[in-house]
Amino acid sequence: MEVAFQNRERVPQHPLDDLQLTRLQQAIDGLNSDQLVWASGYLAALAAYQPKLKQAANESPALTLLYATQSGNARSVAEQLADRLQASGYAPRLVSAENYRPRDLSKEKLLIVVISTQGEGEPPESAYGLFSYLQGKKTSSLSDLRYAIFALGDSSYDQYCQAGKTLEQLLDAQGAKRLLDRVDADVDYQPEAENWQQQIHSAVKQHQPEEQARVIPLQRSAPVRHDRNNPYQAELLERRRITTDDALSEVHHLSLEIDPQLIQFQPGDALGLYFRNDPAMIDELLSITGLSCEAKVTLGDDEMSLSRALCERLELTQLHPSVVRAWSSLTDDHRLHALSENIEQLRKFVSDRQLIDLVSTFPADVDAQGLVKLLHHQQSRLYSIASSQHAIEDEIHLTVATLQYQSHDRNHLGGASGDLTRRIEETDRVGVYVVENPSFRLPTSPDTPMIMVGAGTGIAPYRAFLQQQESLGVHGRNWLVFGNRHFHRDFLYQTDWLNYRKSGLLERISLAFSRDNQERTYVQARLYEEGAELYHWLQEGAHLYVCGGVEMERGVYQSLLAIAQTHGGHDDASAAEYIESLRIQGRYQRDVY
């Protein structure tokens, strides 16, 4: 397999475009020769049953499912819908927004979009191209198009589901017609999604009788698919703290064991995982509410004890405004009632509180099922994977910072990070699934230089990148830019980077440790200082990666604008265009949280 992978640049003339080729390579990476033979036979058979497959790529698909996702939720909803439609004999084209050619919109008949909203009402990065096409001048009429939108969001933000709303306006403006009205879904979106999928299914049936649909007789060959609804139980092999005792943040390195036949991932992917809530906190909740841990409750179709529901299935640590509102209705407390009316104050209220704070400050009478009903289902948490499967086949490494804060006379621990770094022990199991991150990928050509910018645990995916490059024997020019607090205390994976530098895989390491000096230097400032070199690398075709918190990412973007002006002779507008052009070329990739 490795041979085929390394020779990819020498593959003779073929009918696949770069993206298709990359995806094919990704799909077959890791197969042994028997599996490859089987796969080639499978593909040949497909071709035999689909004589027009080649043209089909250029034809307008009858039904397209488009998703734009950041955390993988939108993708998962779209996949479920695709499965459902396929089971009824439809052949929807399932495609991520960044792989979708916007001008194909005019050829579409039925378009179903699942889209999440980021930050202040922005679409996920993968949908930037689609949005700017629809907002631009080159759009053509979409009067033949029928569409439906499932918008994911978080009602505690002002711009709730804004990306979905904007997309709806844009499509309407071009004359597109609605298959169904837009559905907005909150953090606890699964029930809505289930409902919506049924509606879509019947709506599609009405508009496109099955006999007209092209049916691909694809049988899933994988016996088990592990996704958010069916997580894989990975065993914790090892955990160690990798910041010193006097470091300001507590960061742990975790190694999880997985079966490489069942779990596959690429550098850049994230791991979604479920966790168990703190038993001490559950005991306290039960004691305050006077509920029995044995009380029977139902969650969906499952019946279980209250303590199990609280431990494994419900969200206790990320307090959502809607939970506060629901709790408020159980009490006579005027302060809480007033708070529920004011979303701004409510957001502030939940920002440093967990359920336990709410329940202990505002006691209320509630029965077991009532409590379960007002709580959200536990949302899985995502962590960038810090290892390469090509290098270490059966492990997944994670870099986890313990979220802890003191507020309202109580020490708070993050749900997942508390469980992962304080509670679970070696040989315990964690429910996990891979969340693909196709917009954060190694360059396809091994010669392409990489500039990897990360702050704090944002450095994790670069460890996967370089492990992969090393195990492939690839030797590009690579530059790591890392920021944290103290050189001696929290230089995450320092010895790995030094070894990569020694072996020639890392050419340059730039660092910003904000608490080591008076100036409080952050990565964006370091980037600007080294702007001439950075611009030079970009001119040589380097890919630029940014991973970390949203503020860091904004700072880096400002530095890039300034660098393009100082060293590239751009003005305000053309600097922004320059960076946008890098993004469109896939040379400016971000993973921001």
Partner 1 sequence: MDIKLNPNELIKANSRYLRGTLKQSMADQASGALSADDAQISKFHGFYEQDDRDLRLTRQQQFLEPYYSFMLRARLPGGVCTPQQWLTIDTVGRDLGNGTIRLTTRQTFQYHGILKANLKPLIKRINQVMIDSIGGCGDVNRNVLCNPNPEDSSLHQEVHLWAKRISEHLLPKTRAYHEIWLDGEAVAGGETEPLYGETYLPRKFKTAIAIPPHNDVDVYTNDLGFVAITEADQLLGFNVLAGGGMGTTHEDNTTFPRLADELGFIPPEHTLAVAEAVVAVQRDFGDRISRRHARLKYTIERMGVTAFKAEVEKRAGILFETAKPVSFTSQGDRYGWVEDNRGQWHLTLYIENGRIADTPEATLMSGLREIAGIHQGDFRITPNQNLIVARVPKAQKDRIEQLARQHGLLSDHRSPTRLASIACVALPTCPQGNG
What residues line the site for partner 1 (CB under 8 A)?
Answer: 240-244, 253, 487-488, 491-498, 501, 509-511
Q: For 136, which DSSP code?
A: S
DSSP H helical ranges for 71-181? 73-87, 128-135, 162-173
Three-state secondary structure of 288-316: HHCCCCCCEEEECCEEEEHHHHHHHHECC
What span, in angstroms and rounded, lies between the C-alpha atoms of 377 and 192? 13
One-letter amino acid at 554 equals R
Q: Which is nearer to partner 1, 264 or 387 (CB)?
A: 387
We find the least distance from the C-beta atom of residue 265 to partner 1, in angstroms, to be 21
**Strand, helix or coil for residue 453:** strand
Q: Which is nearer to partner 1, 219 or 495 (CB)?
A: 495
Q: Which is nearer to partner 1, 199 or 494 (CB)?
A: 494
Nearest to 458 by CA among 560, 546, 558: 546
Q: Which is nearer to partner 1, 105 or 492 (CB)?
A: 492
We find the least distance from the C-beta atom of residue 590 to partner 1, in angstroms, to be 24
Q: Which is nearer to partner 1, 196 or 497 (CB)?
A: 497
Q: Which is nearer to partner 1, 327 or 462 (CB)?
A: 462
DSSP 410-440: EEEE-HHHHIIIII--TT-EEEEEEE--TTS
Task: State residue 349 phi and psi, 5-degree precision.
Answer: -60, -45
Task: State residue 440 phi and psi, 5-degree precision.
Answer: -140, 85
One-letter amino acid at 197 equals Q
We find the least distance from the C-beta atom of residue 487 to partner 1, in angstroms, to be 7
* Kind of pairing between the strands at 183-185 and 146-152: parallel
We find the least distance from the C-beta atom of residue 481 to partner 1, in angstroms, to be 11
Q: In what helix (H) or strand (E) does residue 365 lie, and over which residues does it extend?
A: none
Q: Which is nearer to partner 1, 243 or 468 (CB)?
A: 243
Q: Which is nearer to partner 1, 147 or 497 (CB)?
A: 497
We find the least distance from the C-beta atom of residue 242 to partner 1, in angstroms, to be 5
We find the least distance from the C-beta atom of residue 511 to partner 1, in angstroms, to be 5
Contact between residue 472 and residue 6 where contact means Cβ atoms under 8 Å apart: yes
CA distances (Å), origin 151, targets 68, 111, 161, 180, 380: 10, 14, 6, 12, 19
Contact between residue 320 and residue 351 where contact means Cβ atoms under 8 Å apart: no
Strand order in the sheet with 270-273: 381-384, 270-273, 429-435, 232-241, 251-257, 395-401
Q: Which two tokens stand for residue 441?
A: 């990928």
Residue carrying structure tokens 């559905």:
183
Q: Which is nearer to partner 1, 243 or 457 (CB)?
A: 243
Q: Which is nearer to partner 1, 253 or 485 (CB)?
A: 253
Angle at 549 between CA 548 and CA 550, to 5 degrees: 125
Side-chain half-sphere CA neighbours of 146 within 13 A: 14
Q: Which is nearer to partner 1, 439 or 484 (CB)?
A: 484
Three-state secondary structure of 327-354: HHCCCCCHHHHHHHHCHHHHHHHHHCCC
Q: Which is nearer to partner 1, 333 or 496 (CB)?
A: 496
**Four-CA torsion 325, 327, 332, 336, nearest 10 degrees:** -50
